[in-house]
Amino acid sequence: MKMISRRDFLKASAVVGAAGVLTACGGSSASTAASSTAASAAASSTAAASGSANIGVCIYQFADNFMTLYRTDLEEYLKDMGYAVTIVDGKNDQNTQTEQINTFLQQGVDVLVINPVQTTSAQTIVDTIKPSETPIVFINREPDKSVLDSYADKCCYVGADARQSGTYQGELILETETQGDINGDGKITYIMCKGDPENIDAQYRTEYSIKALTDAGKEVECLYEYLDNWDQTTAQQDVANALAQYGEKIEVVFCNNDAMALGALQSLQQAGRTVGKDVYLVGVDALSEAVQNVVDGNMTGTVLNDDVGQATAAAAATKLYVEGSKVEQYYWVDYVKVTKENAAQYIK
């Protein structure tokens, strides 16, 4: 069921929120977020009739549920602006993506939108592109600030602050009847299904979901953190193993994204566990299938990773580069907590 049209939602979320200051955490470098003046240009369907441009878009991997939503939105908004858009699949291989970037440079694209395979390769990517003076909009996988600084005025990042999504996951657990302590032993016992360990989203969601619990004065016990690389099948297998090993001890299953939460849910159901009764389960992204499970009570909650808002901001930043206008260094889009009460509106 589609509650609001994609276009309406796009308009509603078109304004990119001003950013605060990001503080260093867990050894990662501090980055100062510039306030955003991103126009809601992408929301406008007025095509840039003349002044058309060629945009190259590099996605880390097409076989990623969330990035599939994101790239579909982005393609639509850029085409609405009258641009010629080519989107390529990095197949989760940095060498493949680097070749694709080189091909785009040979073709003389006007702007590159890049979702890097490896954020640690972002500096090399910038160094490769710099001589051509082609502007870069990095998306979804946040490079170090030093990388953006090294190509100032020609390079920006559009994303969401993953700490917020982690905090929301912890809050979703605190809002349950038992506040996560189903067996009443005074501590919240959990397992964590983690995304790509190099990805800041995975790092922050892992850290901040638990921080929300400890900040609220809760005692926590981590049984195991599984490296599931954002992948549903891997999470399904790991959670099946965890259930065999730890059984009823597991009170909460935290998943860094919904794909893994859906895998976890399959294993929980197979093991006869009931979410909301003898276990809690949270994800991030608000994929339609996950949101439906929240509505049905099979997931405790999820967090909207706003693909529409981020694609809107990325298209708006691209347009500013095409037009030669001033572009900020960071554009941030808010996450939204999705509970049984508000979930229906997030089914796309």
Residue with Cβ nearer ligand BGC (47 or 63): 63
By CB under 6 A, tell whether 337 contacts ligand BGC: no
Cα separation, 89 vs 73, in Å, equals 16
Instruction: Select from 64-72, 129-137, 146-154, 317-325 the region that touches ligand BGC (CB under 6 A).
Output: 64-72
Q: State the residue for tokens 């908004």.
A: 77
Q: How far is the CB of 64 from ligand BGC (least distance, A)?
A: 5
Tokens of 251: 């009170």
Cα separation, 200 vs 208, in Å, equals 12
Burial of 256 (0-12, 13-18, 19+ CB in 10 A): buried
User: Which amino acid makes up residue 314?
Assistant: A
Cα separation, 6 vs 339, in Å, equals 20
Tell me 300's DSSP state: S
By CB under 6 A, tell whether 203 contacts ligand BGC: no
Interaction residues for ligand BGC, span 251-270 (CB under 6 A):
257, 259
Residue with Cβ nearer ligand BGC (119 or 189): 119
Binds ligand BGC (CB under 6 A): choice among 55, 58, 67, 299: 67
Cα separation, 153 vs 146, in Å, equals 13
By CB under 6 A, tell whether 305 contacts ligand BGC: yes
Q: Is 336 helix (H, G, I), strand (E, B) or coil?
A: strand
Tokens of 211: 């921080």
Interaction residues for ligand BGC, span 210-249 (CB under 6 A):
230
Give residue 304's Cα distance to chain centre: 9
Output phi, psi for 92, to 5 deg.
Answer: 55, 30
Interaction residues for ligand BGC, span 272-301 (CB under 6 A):
284-285
Binds ligand BGC (CB under 6 A): choice among 201, 228, 251, 307: 201
Binds ligand BGC (CB under 6 A): choice among 36, 98, 121, 140: 140
- Which residues are registered as beta bridge partners of 224? 191
Q: How many residues bind ligand BGC (CB under 6 A)?
A: 14
By CB under 6 A, tell whether 73 contacts ligand BGC: no
Instruction: Select from 29-37, 63-71, 313-321, 322-330 the region that touches ligand BGC (CB under 6 A).
Output: 63-71
Binding site for ligand BGC (CB under 6 A): 64, 66-67, 140-141, 195, 199, 201, 230, 257, 259, 284-285, 305
